């Protein structure tokens, strides 16, 4: 008969943290959220550490280049979704690596032969009021001039009026040379009372814009996750089908780390993918694997050479794998068992392999529980899908603003490779749903609140680092009635206006 595990499969909602002694040294300003992203040997320092323990999920509705830039600027990492063409994914990676704080690649460009109608339509489409006019209409063409709202009057000027007839020509522009520092660019802006400064190379090709409104941006992100060349760090999701073609282009684009995106990581297909990376790139290219939920799955991927292992099957808010296939495990139980296996592996080999907890997060305190139970960082989809920086539409539904959010296992995503079992290339049934999440605003504002909660909880546990949290946290099981007790109860709540 089948092997039966009689222990209950538990979720984060069934646990609470017990306070530890909060010493005088245990204050929010002394708490560090740094955590390893990739494996390292005992006594060594990981080549890549996150400044906050968050990764955005490998999903079409979550992680594009805009999310990757925003999250890396705040200390975490995004894995840009792989369920798109190889060229498109590589281009997204390249945009992140080329990003410089304060230096903005122009995403609104026209030629001098375009018309005022084109200017207005482009402004409505992109929201950008400063338009670069280049010889070929691209963001890297030869700069001929710029157009701002001060150059035309839409109610009086003819919509057929050519851009060359009302743009500010290059001869009248003040520009900065490519290679200039942000401080130098800002000095030019302030000395000349400019709103924007085009940055050009020796051939007069447009490279960036620096805007007055972004003056303080570079001082507002002290936790930026940067590589040795001061570029933002970015990851990318891959599958076990086209990895031989996809990985080389992602590497050329500058990707820092890969992650095999699969609902079932306990698979020979993942081992073959990791072997391809090691054979062709050695340890230079880092690669995470998963998802798994038990000791056996972890050891398989650890021996295969994974740089981190992703834990969780069926616990995502839009995932219905458990409902459809009966496959999965409560996220808390999965993390606890895999973390024990990871620690045993570390004691045996001297190699520490970080764990990524993927799924099961409903409340912010669940994040602290995941870390206390042994995870090194947390991958989330729903949490990040709510923000301005996610790639989906903001809509008004039922009188409230929402953002679209769909699973990679849904028909909408058409990501059959994620559920690859080595057979025919089609999605036989869905393992995810198409939904909405409440719109929440900017990533930075929400992330600061969440991190504040995590830091406060860690102080209550008497720890100032994630490593100490793993060692010293005390966790208790809770009953269904104590869960009710933990919320507002036995009172009549006042109605509040949004």
Contact 465, 31 (CB under 8 A): yes
Q: Does the annotation mark 418 as catalytic?
A: yes
pLDDT band at residue 416 under the 50/70/90 scheme:
very low
Residue 72, C-beta contacts closer than 8 angstroms, at least 6 positions apart? 78, 96, 224, 225, 226, 232, 233, 234
Query: What is the rounded distance in angstroms from the CA atom of residue 33 to the CA atom of residue 54?
Result: 10
Strands 286-292 and 351-352: unpaired
SS3 label, residue 417:
helix
Query: What is the rounded distance in angstroms from the CA atom of residue 428 to the CA atom of residue 443?
Result: 35
Query: What is the rounded distance in angstroms from the CA atom of residue 358 to the CA atom of residue 349?
Result: 25
Question: CB neighbours (10 Å) of residue 163?
Answer: 23
Contact 74, 81 (CB under 8 A): no
Query: What is the rounded distance in angstroms from the CA atom of residue 434 to the CA atom of residue 417?
Result: 18
- Stretch 445-467: mean pLDDT, rounded? 97
Q: Is 493 exposed, middle or buried (CB count within 10 Å of its CB: 0-12, 13-18, 19+)? A: exposed
Sign of the C-alpha dihedral computed for residues 286, 287, 293 and 298 taken in this order:
negative
Bridge partners, residue 396, by sequence: 401
Bridge partners, residue 196, by sequence: 211
pLDDT one-digit tens code per residue, 64-84:
999 999 999 999 999 999 999
- Stretch 17-23: mean pLDDT, rounded? 96
Residue 61 carries which DSSP code?
T
SS3 label, residue 104:
strand
Residue 257, C-beta contacts closer than 8 angstroms, at least 6 positions apart? 37, 38, 48, 77, 79, 233, 235, 236, 285, 286, 287, 288, 307
Question: What mean pLDDT is reported for the chain?
Answer: 90
Q: At what angle do helices 295-304 and 268-281 cross, to 10 degrees?
A: 20
Residue 284 tokens, joined: 């230079």
Residue 135 carries which DSSP code?
S
Contact 393, 80 (CB under 8 A): no
pLDDT one-digit tens code per residue, 235-291:
999 999 999 999 999 999 999 999 999 989 999 999 999 999 999 999 999 999 999
Q: 26, 73, 259, 319: which is the annotated catalytic residue?
A: 319
Q: Give the chain's length.
A: 498
- Determine the distance from the C-alpha atom of residue 479 to the mean position of all C-alpha atoms in its chain, rounded to a whole number: 34
- Stretch 184-210: mean pLDDT, rounded? 93
**What is the residue whose two structure tokens read 């499969």?**
9
Task: Using the predicted structure, report yes or no on whether residue 62 has a pLDDT greater than 80.
Answer: yes
pLDDT band at residue 123 under the 50/70/90 scheme:
confident
Sign of the C-alpha dihedral computed for residues 68, 71, 73 and 75 taken in this order:
negative
pLDDT band at residue 45 under the 50/70/90 scheme:
very high
Residue 91, C-beta contacts closer than 8 angstroms, at least 6 positions apart? 253
What's the predicted TM-score (pTM) here? 0.80
pLDDT one-digit tens code per residue, 315-365:
766 666 666 777 889 999 999 999 999 999 999 999 999 999 999 999 999
Task: Name the region of 387 (left: φ>0; alpha: ψ -120 to 50; beta: rest).
Answer: beta
Q: 73, 329, 382, 418: which is the annotated catalytic residue?
A: 418
Q: Does the annotation mark 153 as catalytic?
A: no
> In 138-254, which ranges are continuous DSSP H helix?
182-191, 243-253
Contact 12, 451 (CB under 8 A): no
Angle, alpha carbons 365-317-51 (nearest 5°): 45
């Amino acid at each position: 008969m089948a092997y039966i595990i009689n222990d209950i499969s538990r979720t984060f909602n069934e646990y609470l943290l017990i306070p530890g002694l909060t010493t005088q040294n245990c204050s929010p300003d002394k708490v560090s959220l740094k955590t390893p992203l990739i494996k390292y040997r005992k006594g060594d320092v990981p080549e890549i550490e996150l400044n906050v323990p968050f990764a955005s999920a490998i999903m079409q509705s979550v992680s594009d280049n805009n999310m990757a830039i925003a999250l890396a600027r705040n200390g975490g990492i995004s894995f840009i979704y792989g369920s798109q063409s190889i060229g498109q994914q590589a281009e997204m990676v390249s945009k992140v690596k080329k990003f410089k704080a304060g230096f903005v690649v122009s995403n609104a460009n026209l030629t001098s032969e375009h018309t005022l109608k084109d200017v207005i339509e482009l402004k409505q489409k992109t929201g950008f009021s400063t338009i670069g006019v280049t010889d070929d209409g691209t963001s890297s063409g030869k700069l001929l001039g710029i157009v701002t709202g001060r150059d035309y009057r839409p109610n009086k000027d003819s919509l057929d009026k050519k851009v060359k007839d009302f743009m500010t020509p290059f001869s009248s522009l003040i520009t900065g040379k490519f290679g200039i520092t942000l401080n130098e660019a800002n000095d030019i802006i302030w000395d000349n009372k400019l709103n924007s400064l085009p940055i050009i190379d020796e051939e007069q090709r447009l490279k960036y814009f620096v805007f007055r409104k972004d003056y303080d941006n570079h001082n507002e992100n002290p936790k930026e996750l940067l590589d040795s060349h001061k570029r933002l760090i970015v990851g990318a999701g891959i599958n076990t089908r086209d990895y031989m073609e996809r990985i080389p282009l992602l590497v050329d684009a500058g990707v820092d780390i890969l992650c095999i995106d699969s609902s079932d990581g306990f698979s020979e297909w993942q081992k073959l993918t990791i072997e391809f990376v090691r054979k062709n790139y050695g340890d230079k290219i880092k690669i995470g694997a998963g998802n798994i939920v038990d000791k056996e799955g972890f050891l398989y991927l650890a021996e295969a050479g994974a740089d981190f292992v992703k834990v969780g099957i069926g616990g995502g808010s839009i995932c219905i794998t458990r409902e459809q296939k009966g496959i999965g495990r409560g996220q808390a139980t999965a993390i606890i068992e895999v973390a024990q296996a990871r620690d045993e592996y570390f004691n045996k080999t001297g190699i520490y392999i970080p764990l990524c907890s993927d799924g099961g997060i409903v409340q912010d305190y669940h994040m602290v529980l995941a870390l206390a139970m042994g995870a090194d960082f947390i991958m989330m989809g729903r949490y990040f899908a709510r923000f301005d920086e996610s790639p989906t539409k903001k809509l008004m539904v039922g009188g409230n603003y929402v953002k679209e959010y769909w699973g990679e296992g849904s028909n909408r995503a058409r990501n059959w490779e994620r559920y690859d079992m080595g057979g025919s290339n089609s999605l036989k049934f869905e393992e995810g749903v198409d939904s909405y999440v409440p719109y929440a605003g900017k990533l930075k504002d929400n992330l600061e609140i969440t991190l504040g909660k995590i830091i406060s909880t860690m102080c209550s546990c008497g720890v100032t680092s994630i490593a100490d949290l793993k060692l010293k946290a005390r966790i208790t099981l809770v009953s269904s009635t104590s869960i009710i007790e933990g919320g507002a109860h036995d009172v009549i709540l006042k109605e509040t206006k949004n």
